[in-house]
Amino acid sequence: MILKNKLIIFLTIILLVATLNFISSQSIEYPQCCALANNGAQCVSVPASECAGNFAPSSCDNPGNPCQKGVCVSIESGECRENTPQLVCENSGGLFKTDAIHKIPECQLGCCMLGQDAIFSTEISCKEAASKEGLSFSFREDITNSNSCLGLSFTDQEGACVVKTQFETKCKRTTGKECGAKDSESGLTSLLDKYVSGTSVTTEFFQGKLCAADELKTDCVKSQKTTCYKDDVYYLDTCGNRANVFNSAKYNDPLNSDYWTSIQKPSDICAEVSGGSASAKTCGNCDYSSSTKCRSPQSEDPSPQNQMANFKNICGDLRCKYKSKTYQNTESWCAQTPGTQWEVGGPGIKVNLTGNYLISKDNLFDPEKYNLPGSRYVVQECSEGEILEVPCKDKREQVCKQYEQQGRTKAACEVNNALSCTALKDPTKDKCNKIDDCYWLSGNSKIIGGDEDEGSIWSLTKEDIEKQGLNAGKFSDEEREQKQGSCVPLFSPGNDFWTEDGQAECMAARDFPRRVIYEILAISPKGRDEFLSDSEVSGEHWSYDSNDKETRQTRCAGNCFAIPNYGKGIQEGIATLWDGKKWSDWTAGMPISDRKGQYCHKKDKPDRPKSGQVIGNQVDCAADDEDVDEGKRYNRPEFYTHSSWLKFIGIRARASGDCGITTNFLGESPSYDSEKITTMIQKVKQDQSSTKEKWKGEVVEGILYKGEDLADLNNPKFNGAIYPGTEESVI
Amino acid sequence: MEKKRGQLTIFIIVAILVVAIVALLFAFPKLRTSVGFEKPESPENFIQTCLEDTIKENVETLSKQGGSLEPSLSILYQDEKIQYLCYTPQKYQACVVKIPFLEKHIEDEIKKSIEDDVNFCFNSLKQTYDDKGYTANLKKGEIIVELLPQRIVTTINNEFTFSKADETQRRETFRVIVDNNLYELIGIAQSIMSDEIFFGDSFEQAYMEFDTNVKVEKKRPVTEGTTIYILTDRNTQDKFKFAIQSWSFR
């Protein structure tokens, strides 16, 4: 036992001696202090032999030693250096102080907001740096922590701005810049419940942190409330600060979890919610481009799976439904309006991104169904679940065109360039169809007949023909296809036809009246009379039934077709109309000829035309007749039937605008006073003079159809050669 | 025929005269100036050209040696003497500041390093103008060196007057500007020194995150407790090296 105690005492002494020796060895390593060493170093611990001056065999820290350490202050730059020997300081032009640095006013550090940066420095340094860098500055002495200060320089980054007094710790989710601004700008002290002006307030910024973060020990904690921010649904903390994007599955995560501690990207919290998706119940990461946005739940939105009663926001479904089709938010389309083309009710006006039609013009053109008087195009747009209507300009000055762009339907009102169709100089089929808003309606044309009425060309002299640049009936089939027709608006424009000006416009600008006469080249005068009497006296209609009474066609010499402005003088009345059958309805043995009219003149008898057949490119009009004047031969198969001619002028009138007889967009039949197509018939001899005694030598005209007679162009109402109640008149 | 021969003779004489004048001007440059064919370089350009390289070289040397041309307390690292900005020989003690105001210290060092060159350049300037037929006078003034963001500006308040015929011109201030990011690097060096005083170490990663244009390297040579810091501007490749000997006591 005694031995044991002796051993303990011995070991203790050894340990004590060793410890003292260690401490001694540490403190006596350089017990001397040299103010200026041989190598120029100041205040260093070197042996006397290496010291050039002011050697002291004691520590430099001893009071009174010129090398004692303290704080060195630069009055010029505001820098304060602790642990600086007095001699070194004074030799550097500094002011030496032995006070603790926090007691030296010039050395109080704060946050120097320099331009967009933040530097933790003294106020003098801050001013000096601002001066050198040419920047504005503000000095925040309430920020006493270097990291908080540096955090403020991340100006656009969000985080928790913690405002602290000795009584309370408040927090606001802000950017570093806002947190670093002076209180007069940020109003941060207003967060405090017990703020007394002039009392000490410190501000600290924690970039990327949420105010609810447990580690910040603020007065803010998580709550069940949500708010809308930048289209997304966010949880709020009890101080009203945004937490992270709503995710019902994460609400019960611990307070120190990332979800309640750090600002996270919405995409890291849950996948974007698209319109109509059930994920809106659980996730607040809305996607405006996929038709969702934060809003109060509405009937069409799914009920959120959130057990909290005060849940007030959700990724609302912004899609729209129209005519059984669902559109995404911001999509637009052409609405279904009466009398316009529409996707379901008609072909719709669909174009590609370069504006070319995706549907043929032949399908788009139907003036009896589309672009009716009073109709108007309308663009509809899906705007956050609501359908907004944007009417295009009235009277079809604009039409709605629809296209697909990046998988989205878009529609726009585009100008209907209808005037360019009628204004087209020297129109041809190709030139016309190149204009987006025009349509080439094959049929008769002044081009073929020149500026004279059709048929009259053959009464012109050769010089006149050359002067007018006319081809005198020698058009090739290709030329005829190009030139024989009218360039009309694809989308019939409207006009104020019910006003005097509108009527004047209809009458002046559009060439509706056409003079026409029918060639009924009956085989004999007797036959001709019978032909006429059949139609006018017996009331027999032209048809090709097996009805015994309907025999007039047998009297026709194979060319009973309407030839505008051609014809010999015939008796009163024209009844060569048939029952509206289309050309294609006729089959073999048709009562009208399909030959192209070929007309010639005898050289010595200009008032004696001669007709013949065209077979292919061969014309037999003059083949066997040597005295034919070739210069006056022409070939004009403009229309093979009266109905095709009638239909042409009707359609052309309707395509040209609201002047034609057209059922309006409400389905109402127009009144004669409001719209009309007046068709006049000129009964002339070959020299264009009237066949009537009282009009002898005069060119006369009379109304054949008008008003509602032509409402149905396939079934026009014929009222006799001269419209009842009207008279012929001299032109 | 004789008339033509006379004209040819005149042409030959004129050509010989032209060649002779050109040869004279090449042989005697001073003659070019005096006849107004050549003007001397502007004083500002002359001084900028004369001092720019010297300043750059001296700054480079200073930057490699911790801010001192002749480091008093230094460590030899890769054959270069590097100044200790803060040093303690004693373990478990914070380092003692050796250069408290680094920016001013370097400005002074640069100024000291170029004084002779400034004199030489201005004397050369005067001589150049004298040689070119001017009457030149030089009155020497103060030299101010400033480290500023992205540049070092040396202002020399020398008065230089030169005159010729009736024309007299005077310059009172000359500025030599050298592109350099030493100002920015020194700011970081001082912060590192503060860290070393407080913590006995520094957190280089924080500085690189704060300013991504700057690379902070810490080298530990054999000398115990010494850290060599190499700060590099990634864009300009400007460097600043310095040494600190401190002891971590945390």
Q: Which pLDDT value is given to residue A242? A: 93
Q: Which pLDDT value is given to residue A572? A: 28
The residue among A81, A87, A102, A150 with the most chain B CBs within 10 A of its CB, best to mutate, is A81
CB contact under 8 A, A85 and B96: yes
Helix runs in B160-227, H state only? 182-199, 204-210
Give pLDDT tens digits for B223-243: 777 889 999 998 889 999 999
Q: Which of A177-181, A376-380, A564-568 holds the top average pLDDT?
A: A376-380
CB contact under 8 A, B100 and A26: no
ipTM over 0.90: no
Give pLDDT tens digits for A700-721: 566 666 767 777 777 777 665 5
Chain B residues with CB-CB distance to A93 below 8 A: 101, 104
* Chain A closest-CA separation from residue B248 CA (Å): 15
Question: In the numeric block, which tokens belong to residue A509?
Answer: 């600008």
* Chain B closest-CA separation from residue A275 CA (Å): 41
CB contact under 8 A, B101 and A88: no
pLDDT-based confidence at A307, cuts 50/70/90?
very low
Q: Which pLDDT value is given to residue A671? A: 58
What residue of B is the nearest CA neighbor of A147? Answer: B206
* Chain A closest-CA separation from residue B100 CA (Å): 6
Chain B residues with CB-CB distance to A83 below 8 A: 86, 94-97, 197
- Report the alpha-carbon distance of residue B102 to residue A74 in Å, rounded: 11
| pLDDT over 60 (residue A221) | yes
- A352 versus A503: the higher-pLDDT residue is A352
CB contact under 8 A, A83 and B86: yes
Task: Kindly provide the b/e burial profile for residues B200-230, where b requires at least 16 CB atoms within 10 angstroms of the residue's own CB.
Answer: bbbebeebbeebeebbbeeeeeeeebbbbbb
DSSP string spanning B13-63? HHHHHHHHHHHHHHH-HHHHHHTTS--PPPHHHHHHHHHHHHHHHHHHHHH
Select the residue of A37, A40, A94 nearest B100 (Cβ to Cβ). Answer: A94
Q: Any chain B CB within 8 A of the CB of A30?
A: yes
- Report the alpha-carbon distance of residue A358 to residue A350 in Å, rounded: 6
Select the residue of A40, A74, A82 nearest B197 (Cβ to Cβ). Answer: A82
CB contact under 8 A, B100 and A72: yes
Least confident residue range of A14-23, A710-719, B41-50, B210-219: A14-23
Q: Which pLDDT value is given to residue A311? A: 62
* Chain A closest-CA separation from residue B92 CA (Å): 10
| pLDDT over 90 (residue B143) | yes
Q: Round the CA-based radius of gyration of chain B to a whole number and report it.
A: 28
What residue of B is the nearest CA neighbor of A69? Answer: B96
What residue of A is the nearest CA neighbor of B198? Answer: A82
Q: Which pLDDT value is given to residue A298? A: 80
* Chain B closest-CA separation from residue A34 CA (Å): 13
Select the residue of A41, A83, A94 nearest B73 (Cβ to Cβ). Answer: A41
Select the residue of B90, B100, B148 nearest A84 (Cβ to Cβ). Answer: B100
Give pLDDT tens digits for A623-635: 445 665 555 555 4
Give pLDDT tens digits for A663-672: 666 666 655 5
pLDDT-based confidence at A396, cuts 50/70/90?
very high
Q: Which pLDDT value is given to residue A589? A: 30
| pLDDT over 60 (residue A610) | no
Least confident residue range of A197-201, A278-282, A601-605, B145-149: A601-605
Q: Which pLDDT value is given to residue A465? A: 59
A and B: number of Cβ contacts within 8 A: 79
Question: If we measure between CA atoms, which residue out of A528, A474, A578, A489 comes closest to residue A691?
Answer: A528
Question: If we measure between CA atoms, which residue out of A488, A492, A457, A496 comes closest to residue A473?
Answer: A457
> Residues A208, A161: contact at Cβ < 8 Å?
no
- A237 versus A77: the higher-pLDDT residue is A237
Chain B residues with CB-CB distance to A59 below 8 A: none
- Report the alpha-carbon distance of residue B130 to residue B127 in Å, rounded: 5
Three-state DSSP state, A53: strand
Least confident residue range of A121-130, A347-356, A459-468, A673-682: A673-682
pLDDT-based confidence at A475, cuts 50/70/90?
low
What residue of B is the nearest CA neighbor of A81? Answer: B100
- Report the alpha-carbon distance of residue B193 to residue A83 in Å, rounded: 11
CB contact under 8 A, A133 and B149: yes
Q: Which pLDDT value is given to residue A566? A: 31
* Chain B closest-CA separation from residue A41 CA (Å): 5
Q: Any chain B CB within 8 A of the CB of A184?
A: no
Q: Which pLDDT value is given to residue A41? A: 81
- Report the alpha-carbon distance of residue B163 to residue B126 in Å, rounded: 11
* Chain B closest-CA separation from residue A305 CA (Å): 42
Q: Any chain B CB within 8 A of the CB of A93?
A: yes
- Report the alpha-carbon distance of residue A598 to residue A340 in Å, rounded: 42
| pLDDT over 60 (residue A252) | yes
Chain A residues with CB-CB distance to B98 below 8 A: 41-42, 88
Least confident residue range of A382-386, A688-692, B80-84: A688-692
Residues of chain B contacting A, Cβ within 8 Å? 70, 72-73, 86-87, 89-92, 94-101, 103-105, 146, 148-149, 183, 190, 193, 197, 210
Residue A602 has phi, psi (to 5 degrees) of -75, 145
Q: Which pLDDT value is given to residue A282? A: 87
pLDDT-based confidence at B212, cuts 50/70/90?
confident
What residue of A is the nearest CA neighbor of B83? Answer: A41
Least confident residue range of A249-258, A459-468, B118-127, B168-177: A459-468
| pLDDT over 80 (residue B169) | yes
CB contact under 8 A, B72 and A37: yes
State the pairing for strand pair A169-175/A202-207: unpaired
CB contact under 8 A, B97 and A81: yes
Determine the average pLDDT of the residues in A51-74: 83
Entry pTM: 0.51
- A731 versus B112: the higher-pLDDT residue is B112
| pLDDT over 50 (residue A456) | no
Three-state DSSP state, A209: strand
Count of other CB atoms within 10 angstroms of residue A626: 8
- A173 versus A454: the higher-pLDDT residue is A173
* Chain B closest-CA separation from residue A203 CA (Å): 20
Question: In the numeric block, which tokens belong to residue A51?
Answer: 């010291």
- Report the alpha-carbon distance of residue A247 to residue A258 in Å, rounded: 13
CB contact under 8 A, A76 and B104: yes
Determine the average pLDDT of the residues in A404-417: 90
Three-state DSSP state, A171: strand
CB contact under 8 A, B101 and A92: yes
Give pLDDT tens digits for A117-164: 778 888 888 888 888 777 778 888 877 777 777 766 656 678 998 888
Select the residue of A39, A44, A92 nearest B100 (Cβ to Cβ). Answer: A92
Q: Any chain B CB within 8 A of the CB of A79?
A: yes
| pLDDT over 70 (residue A569) | no
CB contact under 8 A, B95 and A83: yes
pLDDT-based confidence at A270, cuts 50/70/90?
very high
CB contact under 8 A, A74 and B105: no
pLDDT-based confidence at A580, cuts 50/70/90?
very low
Q: Which pLDDT value is given to residue A640? A: 44
CB contact under 8 A, A83 and B183: no
Give pLDDT tens digits for A675-697: 555 555 444 443 445 555 666 66
CB contact under 8 A, B100 and A74: yes
What residue of B is the nearest CA neighbor of A39? Answer: B72
CB contact under 8 A, A74 and B104: yes
Sequence-separated (6 or more) residues with CB below 8 Å from residue A135: A114, A115, A129
CB contact under 8 A, B197 and A76: no
Select the residue of A26, A89, A133 nearest B100 (Cβ to Cβ). Answer: A89
Determine the average pLDDT of the residues in A392-413: 91
What residue of A is the nearest CA neighbor of B74? Answer: A41
Select the residue of B72, B97, B149 nearest A132 (Cβ to Cβ). Answer: B149
CB contact under 8 A, A88 and B86: no
Mean pLDDT over the full length of chain A:
71
